[in-house]
């Protein structure tokens, strides 16, 4: 299922519980990362459905129901993008533990951020297409409404109920389309703000990641230096032991000679 794929995605970055044990923030990090994965999947599906609605704009299937569906789905996508960005920010604030683990988590967050930007770019493109279609449709509807008004001014024209209904219907469609265009403009401005926020997050993550990698390099250098010092110390200890053994042998030989000399002297 989706939860399994999310967990697998997290595991692939070293976030599995068994890899480093449970610490404060781990369960929250896993929950948030799975929420982002789930939101990204839903966003992809919703943007795909929005594209299908946009493809019907300007056709015979373009009616008030289609307009309402478009506005509702667009608002839902906007809310999902905001929630996903919020979760990404929260992920960025959770302590990742040691340097290696932090690096893996930053890489995962950058990957999620890139995927969110990809969905947002597709969403913006779809909104721009919808905006252009709506502008064309509004122009056509206004031209049609103006034509009906001109016909009604004609003394020889007999107004009928169907014509009046058509005029009212056109006016309602114009109103709904203009409302949709305002929603599109507001959404695109908000998405642009989110793009800037994401760029800031990615920049901060990159700086932190560089710092982590620098610390890891420094740590490796210190480990290598320490290892070399240990090797030198071990060599020094071996040489010191050898010297001590030589000294002990010399002392033992001198002591034996002294004992022999003293023994010989005393015997005489």
**What distance in Å separates the CA atoms of residue 131 and residue 87, rounded to the nearest whole number?**
30
Q: Is the pLDDT of residue 200 over 90?
A: no
Q: Is 53 helix (H, G, I), strand (E, B) or coil?
A: helix
**What distance in Å separates the CA atoms of residue 21 and residue 6, rounded to the nearest whole number?**
19
171: Cβ–Cβ under 8 A, 6 or more apart, which residues?
A: 145
Handedness of CA 105, 107, 108, 112 (dihedral sign): positive
**What distance in Å separates the CA atoms of residue 117 and residue 85, rounded to the nearest whole number?**
10
Q: Is the pLDDT of residue 247 over 60?
A: yes
Q: Is the pLDDT of residue 255 over 70?
A: yes
Confidence of residue 14 (pLDDT cuts 50, 70, 90): very low
State the average pLDDT over residues 118-136.
91
**What distance in Å separates the CA atoms of residue 203 and residue 211, rounded to the nearest whole number?**
12
Q: Mind listing the pLDDT tens digit for each residue in 143-154?
A: 777 776 666 666
Phi, psi at 22, each rounded to 5°:
-95, 130
Find the length of the chain: 268
Question: Which range in 3-12, 41-50, 87-96 is most confidently predicted, on average pLDDT?
Answer: 41-50
**Cβ distance 112 to 40 under 8 Å?**
yes
State the average pLDDT over residues 134-150.
76
Q: What is the pLDDT of residue 141?
A: 75
Q: What is the pLDDT of residue 46?
A: 96
User: pLDDT averaged over the chain?
Assistant: 75
């Amino acid at each position: 299922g989706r939860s399994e794929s999310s967990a697998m995605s997290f595991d692939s970055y070293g976030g599995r519980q068994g890899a480093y044990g449970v610490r404060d923030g781990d369960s929250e990090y896993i929950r948030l990362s799975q929420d982002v994965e789930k939101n990204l999947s839903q966003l992809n599906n919703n943007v795909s459905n929005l594209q299908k609605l946009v493809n019907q704009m300007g056709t015979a299937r373009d009616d008030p129901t289609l307009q309402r569906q478009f506005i509702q789905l667009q608002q839902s996508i906007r809310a999902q993008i905001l929630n996903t960005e919020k979760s990404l920010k929260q992920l960025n604030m959770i302590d990742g533990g040691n340097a290696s683990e932090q690096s893996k988590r930053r890489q995962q967050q950058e990957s999620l951020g890139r995927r969110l930007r990809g969905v947002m770019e597709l969403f913006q493109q779809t909104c721009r297409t919808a905006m252009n279609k709506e502008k064309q449709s509004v122009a056509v509807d206004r031209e049609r409404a103006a034509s009906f008004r001109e016909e009604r001014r004609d003394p020889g024209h007999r107004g009928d109920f169907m014509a009046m209904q058509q005029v009212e219907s056109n006016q309602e469609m114009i109103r709904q389309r203009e409302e949709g265009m305002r929603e599109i403009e507001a959404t695109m401005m908000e998405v642009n703000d989110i793009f800037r926020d994401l760029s800031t997050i990615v920049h901060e993550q990159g700086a932190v990641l560089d710092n982590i990698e620098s610390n890891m390099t420094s740590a490796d250098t210190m480990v290598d230096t320490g290892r070399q010092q240990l090797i030198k110390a071990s060599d020094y200890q071996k040489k010191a032991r050898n010297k001590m053994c030589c000294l002990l042998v010399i002392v033992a030989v001198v002591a034996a000679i002294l004992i022999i000399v003293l023994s010989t002297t005393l015997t005489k």
